[in-house]
Structures are given as structure tokens and as C-alpha cells.
Structure 1
């Protein structure tokens, strides 16, 4: 069970203070890195002590950003206690609470019969109330980095099939009174996005279940959010499509000059496991402009913390840092004018690694959520605890291969 069930309220002052500390750390980082660069430019070279200082402050900067994000997430969570005066609960919510607290299935069975629902006990649990499902979806959007920038579609079937035109219809200019020749028909193909099952199993004590002040469906949402987000985050990046979504790095990557539909194009750094020592920003510019103009306006960089730490030290030809801190609490850091999304499942920089992605993920990557989150109450397997086997179905994959480009750390 989560330790923050009765966590103190997070106030705006706490977040402002955390953001102020983050910006102070960035200023210290910038000063130390400027000193390191000045030493490199002299004939004596980089001082080891200064380099270690830059790395140390950089790690502290990452930790403070993570702490600020946690404060923002905690502030977004609803209180687990009931509202004063109490809103009238929906029939489904009341029945679900009776099931969770006491194992009383009668109310949920009645709701299922009225709705002609397929979410009954024999199918492996009961559907959570709509409010709880919505809350889980909102929290996953905050926690799961790729979900936060991808397109998300809810479906009621096991597989979403999406047609796309391989070649569009013929078109051309014609005079006002001239005859219109018949155009060629489009060549259509189909992308398939199956929804796979993801699960979590939070445990509750008898005292928690007996505490009438605790809103149990909100408790379930808070317990499963981290487990679902961690599994999703990995699958959306590196998943192989077998019993999980297909991550965008699992598709075939080809040099951008040889790109074709069904593959993702990459731009090579020309150096094994690193950006070039001279004018490294040029390679990032090449990556940005490998994307068509229509996709660039909503594009984001995606990389992990270690790659971001190395890029944070870089400057452009005018001496300006390529990486800029967030404009405020809850905002994203910027890299060369584009938002930067930190996804820990992206690979570290290594020979031939695809460690940076850039693209319009809203058009490029599709997350498919099958409607319905189910909970099965199990009071027997881990006495004296009660387990709640919670499942949802999620799929994902690339839907537009024009919209995402990669950087290969190699030749």
C-alpha cells in the first residue's frame, strides 16, 4: 500500500519554492559549465575538479526537477477522504464500494444486468466506476511520458484497425469548362493496434477497508497509477508487440535518405556513441530539419536523463545554451526551441544507439485504450491482506512513419 495515503496537502508555496531551488541550481550549473568550457579553450585543458563539479550539479538539477514533478503530481491527486457534505454517489460507485469493502457482489451484478454489461464476475472481475477509470487515465497522462504526447483513442473492441492511403488519388489543374478525367483510386493498406492486458495488484489491510473516511476507488487509482505508467512507458518505447504494445524503437530504422513507409528514418552523428566534439548542435539541427515542416510545429525531443545531462552542457555558435530550463512549474525544458520529454526507457548513448527521438508524437504514435478497468477482489491468497487484481487493456504503435525521426549515435 502507498505510504502517501494520508500525505500532507501540497501547497502552491511548496511548488514555487521547489521551482526556485531548481532555477538556482541551474544558475550554479551554468556558471560551473562556463568555467569548464573556458578551461577547455585554454592550452591547459579541462580541470578534473571542475568537470566533477559540473556533473555533480547536473545530477542535483535532475533530482530537483524530479522532486518538483512529484510535488505537482501529488497536488493533482484528489484527497482520499470523502467530501464534506458528500456528493450523491452514482449507483455504480456505491455498488463498487460495497464490493471492495465487503466483497458484496449483488449491487454490481444488478448494475451489470441493467447495463447488459460484459464486465461481470465470470469474466474476471467488475468494471470500476467511470469516475475511477477517468481518474486513472488522467494520472497516466501525467506519469507516462509517451502517453503525454501521443494520440490516445478509446475503443470497445480488442483490436483497432486503421486504414491509411499508401498513394493518394491522382489530381491536377483543369480549365473551368474542360472535362474532368477520372482519377485513379487510392491504394489503401491497414494498420492494426491490438489492446493487450496490463495488470497491478495493490493490497489493503482490514483497517483500511473498514475506514469509512477513505474513498476506496480513489485509493485504487492512486495505487495502480505508478505500476501501469512504468509498464506502459517501457512498452511504448521498446515493446516488441508480443503481449504488449509495439514501441517506436522496435520498428526498423533506416538512414533518412533511404526512408520508406513502415520504417523510421534516422540521422547519424558520425561518431560512435557520441555527438561530434566540434559543432555538435549542427547534428541536432539536421535532425530537426529531417522532419517535414508540417510536423515540426508540434514536435518534441525524447531522450533519457543521461543523454539530457550531456546535451545540457552544449552551446550554440553564439555561446547560448541549447538546453533551457522550464518556464515555470509543470512546464517542460526546451531544447533548441522545442519541448524536451524525459523518457527513462530511451537508451543511453552508445555505439549505434538510437538515443534521441524527435517528432510530432501526436500524429506519429497512437495509444489505444480499451474501455473498462476491471477489479477482482481476492481475500484469500495473502491473508490477512486483501488483494485487488486490477487490469486494463492497452495497445500502441506508430501510425504515421513520417512524423518521428531518430538520431543514431554512430556512422
Structure 2
């Protein structure tokens, strides 16, 4: 039995056991015994959630590795044929060969040499220099000059992006609409809400109305390119030199877990001042709960229907909430005594649902409390995440000798395209 299947089956067993504890709590008349059953439920579900997350991480890693192997196998011959003969005077176009096996090996050689370009062949130096990306931070940070690093190989960039998505849903192209650009120039994001627009009856021979009632209001938002960098991370020179290790996977974990948390937080609750405008900050209040310590099934339904039906039909419609809010919502029942939360099928990777829509964990969101926004619902396809190129990596040698210092840099921004497409449930003070 594979490790992933074993984890998912154990999670399913714990889920069944936990559900029986909750049913027992509902049937128990003794308050102390009911509380004990509920505590057992919480403990079992926490263990179940941990197993599901382990299985999801392993599944993502396996999928990324399979995709990389397929890409490498399919593209190896074409990349070699398209590559021009290289000499010291060869001219490389910016970004040339970033998706080739040759560039991947040159990048690895540079790591193994501790970032010392003089220690690697001229051919590899030329390829790396052609993929050196400069970052001008003046527009957002007020700094002068420019900094930069080597663009990571396509295979590594893909693994970093997948690993970043594992630390929050907002970096995931299956959740939000992702746009990747080659540079950091501002992108104009037009905003139009025409859900109330409709046709009118027309009488033969009459002129069409020209009273301004059909005008469309268009606003816009500039998607910028905020630069975020990790702290220096110590990287063993033995790992850099040992080809037996999967250096792409190791680097992805080191860099992505730091960058992923920050990106998800800013794309969720960013203020829009010196950082991205998060979807929670830009969202509209859809329902004010009666209590700041508990939510009801009716309030979740009200939030659902506060979003226009036009935005409830897309492929990226769903709920987002903190894990502790999920724990609360899992215990809610409808009038028939049925739980409104569905855990899906963890053995098949089917996501949990709420009112028939996907429900995603987002640890950057509020927990239930006074003056909080614990649940969001809407079409997250209307939230645009702008990514600039691939992640970049910088190397420091002497500072960490004999090891290496690795730092990662990513650039992104985000914004809602249509006001009202995403709404939140708020709690009173």
C-alpha cells in the first residue's frame, strides 16, 4: 500500500470515528459526558486533518516530480537541437534556455561552486548571465538602484510555485486567476459590474433611449509588482555538490515555505498600501452575524445568497476560512439534523464542501471573535494574482563558508476585478 493511500485511509477511519463521537454528544443528556464526546471529536478531527495535509503534500510532490520528468523527457531533444553552438563571443537573448536541461545543469553547477562564476565553464557562465534578472524596487520601496538574481530553471520554478500554493490557497491558479508577466510594469485591471444591466421593451418605429441608463461605469486598478525576499538560508555545500540529492525539491522547500506564507497573507488581508490589496480587504460585507462567538447555519446561507447568482456559477466559486472556523462550522446542522459540512472523499482527493461549494483552509483569515471577518464566499476567479516571471535566487559564499547562503525573491500583486464577486461574513464588536 502506498504511503499516500495509507494516510488517506487512516484519515477516513478517524473521520468516521469522530462523526460517531459527535453523534453520541448530540444524543447524550449529561452535559459533562457530551462535552467529553465533543473533546474526543475535536482531537480525532485534528489528527485526521494532520493526516490529510501530509497526504496532500506527498501527492503534490509526486505530481510535481512526474510533471517535471515528463517535461524533461519531452523537451530534451528539442532543447538540444534548438540550442546554438556556444562560444565566448556568443550572444544570448534574455531568458534563453531557461527551460532547457543545459540551463538546469549550469544553474546546478553555479550552486555547487558556491555562486563563483569563475569556477564554472564559460558556456555555463554565458547561459546564466543571459538569465540574470534585475529588479527595480524604486516604484514601491523608494530605494535607488537595482538588485537581482539568476532566474531559476523552469522545473525548479514550477516546484517552488507548487510548494508555495501548499502554504495557502491564494497562490494556487486553481483558486484565483493568475497572470504571469515578463516584467514588472504596472498592469491596468479594469473593473465593471453590470449584473443589474438588462434590455428594455422596444416599440416599432421609436428611437432607442439615450438617457444615460445604459451607461457602464468602468473603474480601474493598477496591479504593481511588489518584491518579497526570504532571509538568508544556510545551504550545505555537500548537498550542492552531491548529484544524488534532488536539489530542486530541497530548494523549493527552503524558499517556498517562507515566500508562500507571506504571499498568501498579503493576497488575503493585504492593505493595498505598500503591499497587495488582499481579497478580504477588498471584499464586501454580505452578512453580519448576531454573535461574535458563534455562527449559525442560517447566517452561512445568508452569506451564500448575498453573492449575486451570476458569481455563484463559476468554476472557482467557494468558501475560505481559518482552520479553527472550520472546526466550528463542521458542527453546524440543518433543520433535519444533517451536518452542513461535507469532508468529501479524502481517499480520492475530493475537497471538502459547504452548501455544495468547495471550502478551503486559509490560515491568514480571522478566527471567530469580536469585529472579525471569519468566512469569505464568492467567485475567487474574480481575484487576479499578478506574478512577475519566475522566482530568483541569490547566493552568498564567504559569509557562510564552507556552506552557502541562499535567498529567494518573488514579485507579485493582487486585486479584485469585479466588486461584489467576493463577500464576507462579519461578526459584531
Please indicate the TM-score interval, normalised by the length of the shorter structure. 0.7 to 0.9
- The answer to whether the 8 A contact 1:166-1:189 is kept is no
1:103-130, Cα deviation, whole Å (9 max, x unpaired):
226546533776897589x842222223
Q: Please give the residue correspondences for 1:289-300 in structure 2 after superposition, counting only pairs within 5 Å.
A: 289-298=305-314, 299-300=317-318
1:53-76, Cα deviation, whole Å (9 max, x unpaired):
222223222222222223323323
Cα offset for 1:399?
2.3
Structure 2 residue 210 is matched with structure 1 residue 164? no
Of 340, 343, 368 in structure 2, the residue corresponding to residue 325 of structure 1 is 343
- The answer to whether the 8 A contact 2:286-2:307 is kept is no
Are residues 211 and 410 of structure 1, via their aligned partners in 2, closer, same or farther at CA, if it must alter by over 3 Å?
A: same
Give the TM-score normalised by the residue count of structure 2: 0.78
- The answer to whether the 8 A contact 1:332-1:339 is kept is yes
State the SS of the aligned residue for 1:372: coil
Of 332, 350, 357 in structure 2, the residue corresponding to residue 314 of structure 1 is 332
Structure 2 residue 291 is matched with structure 1 residue 221? no
Are residues 129 and 301 of structure 1, via their aligned partners in 2, closer, same or farther at CA, if it must alter by over 3 Å?
A: same
- The answer to whether the 8 A contact 2:25-2:37 is kept is yes
Are residues 337 and 179 of structure 1, via their aligned partners in 2, closer, same or farther at CA, if it must alter by over 3 Å?
A: same
1:134-176, Cα deviation, whole Å (9 max, x unpaired):
3322333344312331111112233222123467999645467
Partner of 2:293: 273
Structure 2 residue 169 is matched with structure 1 residue 145? yes
State the SS of the aligned residue for 2:420: coil
Q: Please give the residue correspondences for 1:74-113 in structure 2 after superposition, counting only pairs within 5 Å.
A: 74-78=61-65, 87=76, 89-102=100-113, 103-104=116-117, 106-107=122-123, 110-111=126-127
Partner of 2:17: 28
1:315-349, Cα deviation, whole Å (9 max, x unpaired):
11112111111224432111221111001111111
- The answer to whether the 8 A contact 1:112-1:119 is kept is no
Partner of 2:228: 198
Q: Distance in 1 between matches of 2:222 and 2:324?
A: 34
Structure 2 residue 380 is matched with structure 1 residue 361? yes
Give the TM-score normalised by the residue count of structure 1: 0.81
Cα offset for 1:221?
2.8
Cα offset for 1:350?
0.5
Are residues 95 and 348 of structure 1, via their aligned partners in 2, closer, same or farther at CA, if it must alter by over 3 Å?
A: same
Cα offset for 1:395?
1.0
- The answer to whether the 8 A contact 1:315-1:322 is kept is yes
Q: Distance in 2 between matches of 1:242 and 1:250?
A: 11
Partner of 1:7: none
Partner of 2:395: 377
Are residues 109 and 332 of structure 1, via their aligned partners in 2, closer, same or farther at CA, if it must alter by over 3 Å?
A: same
Residues matched between the structures, number: 379
State the SS of the aligned residue for 1:74: helix
Are residues 273 and 329 of structure 1, via their aligned partners in 2, closer, same or farther at CA, if it must alter by over 3 Å?
A: same
Q: Distance in 2 between matches of 1:346 and 1:97?
A: 38
1:1-60, Cα deviation, whole Å (9 max, x unpaired):
xxxxxxxxxxx7222221111111111111111111122xx4x54533223222222322
Partner of 2:159: 135
State the SS of the aligned residue for 2:367: coil
Partner of 1:260: none
- The answer to whether the 8 A contact 1:195-1:396 is kept is no
- The answer to whether the 8 A contact 2:270-2:276 is kept is yes
Are residues 19 and 217 of structure 1, via their aligned partners in 2, closer, same or farther at CA, if it must alter by over 3 Å?
A: closer
Is the deviation greater in 133-142 or in 350-359? 133-142
Q: Distance in 1 between matches of 2:31 and 2:133?
A: 71
Q: Distance in 1 between matches of 2:150 and 2:415?
A: 28
Is the deviation greater in 292-301 or in 81-90? 81-90
Of 72, 86, 99 in structure 1, the residue corresponding to residue 59 of structure 2 is 72
Is the deviation greater in 86-95 or in 372-381? 86-95
State the SS of the aligned residue for 1:267: strand
